[in-house]
Structure formats: C-alpha cells, structure tokens
C-alpha cells in the first residue's frame, strides 16, 4: 500500500483533497448550528404578494405601538392602484417554518374607521422592535456571500439571496414560501417575546 501511495501520490492527493474539502465545508456549516443555541423568539415580518389578476381593494400597513402589533387598513380607491398586497408572516426558527397571519382588511378598516387596531390573533403578544432579538439574533439578507480567498482567486464560494436570521456563525435560513419574496420586499416588524 505504501508503494502504491508513493508511486501515485498525485492521484491520491487529487482524490482525497476534494473529499476533505467537502467534509470541512460541511463541518463549518453544521457544527456551529448543532452546538449553538437555537433562536428562542419568533420573528414577525411583512412581504409583498403580487397578483396580476386583480388589484387589492384595501391597502394594509403594520406598526408596533406600546409593544402591540397594530394594523391599519384603508380602501384603495386609486384608479392606478398596484397589483401587490402586503402580507404579515411569522418565522419560527425552532421548527424552521414560516406561516402567514391572515388579516381581514375589510373588517380591520371598517371596524375602526381607517384607524389602527390590534389583530385578534396577535392581541396577547408582546412585540420587541429591536433589530437584535433578546437572545442575540438579527435579520440578515438578502445578499450575503462567502468563500474568502477562493472567491477572489477562482470565483468560487457561495452566494445566497435568501433571508436568514444570524448570531455569530450560526444562521437559520428563512424558507421561501412564495416561490420568491416579491422583489425581496421582506420588512422586519419585530420579535415575539411573549404570547
């Protein structure tokens, strides 16, 4: 075996080096996440949905006041109104899932005469609008890349246009539930610190 390795050193190095690099990159991405503390708080964010068939009848906007999520809905009476609507989403990093919070725009707008109101589903929630969550995570994206010297020398490495929450070297990618968030219009709302 030693004679074979000596006689075919270039072949052995050529076969083992790529395998070693795969193991190193795998370890660099999996090990920090395995030993890091997973996020303890859900993140609220908004995104846009484009519907080419029909423009929405109501415009919706969200704000946090006194740690409560407020929704404002108003009738869209512009003749040149757009075909996109704002969606409220919740990201749970522990299960790595995203779900939409349904907003009845007609009810929200009519109930308060175009003023802000609290959604029924989020009424008991306490929202922290700090950019950094109480456990140290932050929303990162949409463009981040890596690879260090490899990128500069060979154009290799990785590039990702998805959103993620990150703390140090630990990152959790936010699943893309719409095929692609419309024009990367993900807007941070806050962290759900109490339900």
Specify the 3-state DSSP secondary structure of 124.
coil
Regarding whether 42 and 28 lie in a shared domain, the answer is no
- Please indicate, yes or no, whether residues 84 and 110 belong to a single structural domain of this protein: yes
Residues in Cβ contact with 31 at an 8 Å cutoff, skipping those fewer than 6 apart: none
- The answer to whether residues 22 and 47 belong to one domain is no
My answer on whether 108 and 134 are in the same domain is yes
The answer to whether residues 144 and 103 belong to one domain is yes
Q: Which domain holds residue 160?
A: 37-194
Residue 136 CB: number of other CB atoms within 10 A?
A: 13
Are 21 and 105 in a shared domain?
no
- Looking at the fold, whether 66 and 158 belong to one and the same domain comes out as yes
Strands 170-173 vs 187-194: parallel, antiparallel or unpaired: unpaired
Same domain, 30 and 41: no
| pLDDT of res. 102 | 87
State the pTM of this model.
0.70
Q: What is the structure's pLDDT at 72?
A: 85
Residues 85 and 29 in one domain: no
- Both 16 and 110 in one domain: the answer is no
Per-residue pLDDT of the chain (195 residues; tens, 9 = 90+): 778 777 888 887 888 888 888 888 777 666 666 677 889 999 999 988 777 666 677 778 888 999 999 988 877 776 666 667 788 999 998 888 999 998 876 666 555 555 678 888 899 999 999 999 999 999 987 665 555 555 444 444 455 557 889 998 788 888 876 655 445 578 899 999 988
Q: What is the pLDDT of residue 153?
A: 46
- For residue 44 the two structure tokens come to 């609220």
Please tell me the predicted confidence (pLDDT) of residue 93. Answer: 86
pLDDT at 129: 95
For β-strands 84-92 and 97-101, DSSP reports them as antiparallel
Q: Are residues 31 and 93 in the same domain?
A: no
On whether both 45 and 7 belong to a single domain, the answer is no
pLDDT for res 181: 47
Nearest alpha carbon to residue 72 among 41, 105, 43, 34:
105
* Total tally of structural domains belonging to the chain: 2
SS (H, E, C) 137-188: CEEECCCEEECCHHHHHHCCCEEECCCEEEECCEEEECCCCCCCCHHHCCEE
**How much is the pLDDT for 136?**
94
């Amino acid at each position: 075996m030693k004679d074979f390795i000596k006689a075919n050193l270039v072949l052995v190095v050529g076969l083992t080096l790529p395998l070693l690099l795969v193991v190193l990159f795998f370890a660099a991405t999996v090990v920090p996440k395995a030993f890091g503390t997973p996020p303890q708080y859900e993140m609220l964010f908004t995104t846009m949905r484009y519907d080419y068939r029909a423009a929405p009848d109501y415009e919706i906007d969200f704000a946090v006041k006194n740690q409560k999520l407020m929704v404002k809905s108003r009738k869209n009476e512009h003749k040149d109104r757009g075909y996109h609507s704002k969606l409220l989403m919740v990201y749970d990093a522990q299960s790595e899932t995203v779900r939409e919070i349904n907003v009845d725009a007609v009810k929200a707008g009519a109930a308060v005469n175009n003023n802000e109101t609290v959604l029924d589903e989020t009424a008991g929630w306490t929202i922290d609008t700090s950019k950094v969550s109480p456990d140290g995570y932050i929303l990162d994206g949409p463009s981040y890349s890596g690879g260090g010297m490899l990128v500069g020398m060979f154009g290799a490495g990785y590039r990702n246009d998805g959103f993620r929450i990150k703390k140090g070297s630990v990152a959790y990618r936010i699943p893309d539930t719409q095929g692609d968030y419309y024009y990367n219009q993900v807007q941070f709302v806050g962290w759900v610190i109490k339900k």
